[in-house]
């Protein structure tokens, strides 16, 4: 590619991310923290990776694409159209009232005292869930091998939702404690317990959950530095705060890389070539699952020129993931669209190439999918943000928002959003319903204000 080609691609790259930044000017103040989370998701999964490839800092992580650089500009154009429509939808639908239950939130809010009690009980329950899995396969290491390689614990899949809910509650407790001004020594146990619960989920092969948890911690000081005014009238942002944010960012990236290496060691006894023989940028991209952009470019390049559109098949299979196999006898082995897409190139490989929401809509319906999918995604973002409210006012909403954006609405409304909503949001509601019964203090007897004798005294 010539210098002019590179310059044009960089311009398209900036145009693709610009609508998210422009949206800050038009959304209500209460939606801006949620928009920060959306921007973080786009930056991690699309924009930073596309910038690496556009500037020639790295090559594609996917071999079928590495030999042919076609499709980058087409991918940027589609991403620009997608993000523009999605942000218009976000702004337009942002004023529609949405009940908290849509985001998996209870109607009431919880303070630090209530959240730490809920988090403790939920962690006990999640430990029991993980204990059932370990008892099934023999050890925590065997659980990782079974979940990722052998799929031997598929029947116990729902048990991972317990640790997810407990992790969210622990994160909410630590955030609520910080906002209430409690010392670190009171908040630290729940920070640690949240990480423990994230590691429970990691045993299922999902290292992204740990990254989501750490990103949730990182967002708290970012929200503080968003331009809110202090009592003295100056902006609440200083060098120490931004240094702290940068340090948490390094921890997030380092954790993602370390967990990928740890998983490789458990499954293969060595670090995979995708990490060991890769450049630092490639290693970080693979560890952060940021190569979703590489797969997205591949969908644009080869569909429909090489492969036909899927139509509604991906959405039917993905949404049908909520149906147990005992009910759906012919349920597909892999409901994730990334697996189906990769098998077009490598039929024998079980793991997939996630393509993100825009890639899934393009694979299914082409340009119509880009337009409709972007509008649906914008409406979904608005509904979730409206239901959550200002993330700076509700610690539980803050804790849920990261999982909602990075997992449930991964770059938009996607094939598996319903299944992931059950895991990330409905599981929290269920956990709260159970834990509230256990954690609530016993009701005190109501005094007899009329001083009338009780039935027992009368009968005696």
- List average pLDDT for each run of 10 residues in the chain, which is 460 residues long: 68 86 91 91 85 81 66 87 95 89 82 91 89 74 60 62 89 93 91 89 74 84 65 50 63 65 61 64 74 89 89 84 67 75 84 89 95 96 93 92 90 89 84 72 46 40
- pLDDT at residue number 233: 44
DSSP 60-88: -SSHHHHT--TTHHHHHHHHHHHHHHHHH
Q: Say what the pTM is.
A: 0.83
pLDDT in tens, 394-429: 999 999 999 999 889 988 999 989 888 888 888 888
Task: Return d(Cα 110, Cα 439) in angstroms, integer.
Answer: 13
Whole-angstrom Cα distance, residue 92 to residue 259? Answer: 40
Each domain of the chain, given as residue ranges in start order, spans 1-440
Alpha-carbon span 282 to 430, nearest angstrom: 39
DSSP 41-56: HHIIIIIHHHHHHHTT
Neighbouring C-beta atoms of residue 328, cutoff 10 Å: 12
């Amino acid at each position: 590619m010539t210098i002019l080609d590179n310059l044009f691609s960089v311009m398209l790259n900036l145009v693709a991310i610009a609508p998210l930044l422009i949206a800050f000017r038009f959304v209500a103040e209460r939606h801006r923290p949620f928009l920060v989370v959306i921007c973080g998701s786009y930056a991690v999964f699309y924009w930073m990776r596309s910038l690496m490839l556009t500037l020639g800092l790295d090559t594609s992580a996917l071999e079928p694409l590495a030999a042919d650089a076609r499709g980058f500009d087409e991918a940027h154009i589609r991403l620009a159209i997608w993000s523009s429509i999605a942000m218009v939808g976000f702004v337009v639908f942002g004023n529609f009232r949405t009940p908290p239950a849509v985001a998996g939130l209870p109607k009431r809010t919880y303070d630090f005292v209530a959240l730490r009690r809920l988090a403790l009980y939920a962690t006990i329950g999640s430990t029991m869930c993980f204990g059932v899995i370990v008892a099934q396969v023999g050890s925590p290491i065997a659980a990782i091998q079974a979940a990722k390689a052998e799929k031997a614990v598929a029947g116990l899949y729902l048990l991972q939702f317990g640790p997810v809910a407990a992790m969210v509650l622990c994160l909410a407790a630590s955030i609520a404690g910080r906002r209430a001004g409690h010392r670190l020594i009171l908040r630290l146990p729940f920070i640690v317990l949240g990480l423990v619960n994230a590691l429970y989920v990691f045993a299922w092969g999902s290292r992204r959950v740990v990254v989501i948890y750490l990103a949730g911690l990182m967002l708290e000081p970012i929200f503080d530095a968003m331009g809110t005014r202090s009592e003295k009238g100056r902006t609440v942002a200083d060098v120490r705060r931004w240094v702290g944010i940068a340090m948490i960012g390094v921890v997030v990236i380092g954790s993602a890389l370390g967990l990928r290496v740890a998983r490789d060691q458990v499954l293969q006894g060595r670090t995979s070539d995708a990490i060991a023989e890769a450049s630092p940028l490639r290693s970080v991209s693979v560890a952060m699952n940021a190569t979703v952009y590489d797969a997205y470019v591949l969908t644009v390049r080869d569909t429909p020129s090489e492969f036909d559109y899927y139509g509604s098949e991906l959405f039917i299979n993905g949404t049908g993931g909520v149906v147990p196999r005992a009910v759906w006898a012919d349920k597909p082995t892999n409901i994730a669209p990334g697996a189906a897409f990769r098998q077009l190139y490598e039929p024998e490989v079980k793991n997939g190439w996630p393509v993100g929401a825009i890639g899934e809509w393009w694979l299914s319906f082409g340009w119509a999918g880009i337009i409709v999918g972007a509008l649906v995604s914008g409406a979904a973002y608005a509904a979730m943000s409206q239901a959550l409210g200002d993330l700076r006012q509700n610690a539980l909403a803050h804790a849920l928002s990261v999982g909602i954006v990075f997992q449930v609405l991964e770059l938009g409304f996607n094939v598996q959003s319903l299944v992931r909503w059950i895991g990330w949001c409905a599981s929290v509601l269920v956990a709260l319903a159970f834990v509230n019964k256990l954690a609530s203090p016993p009701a005190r007897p109501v005094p007899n204000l009329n001083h009338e004798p009780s039935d027992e005294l009368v009968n005696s």
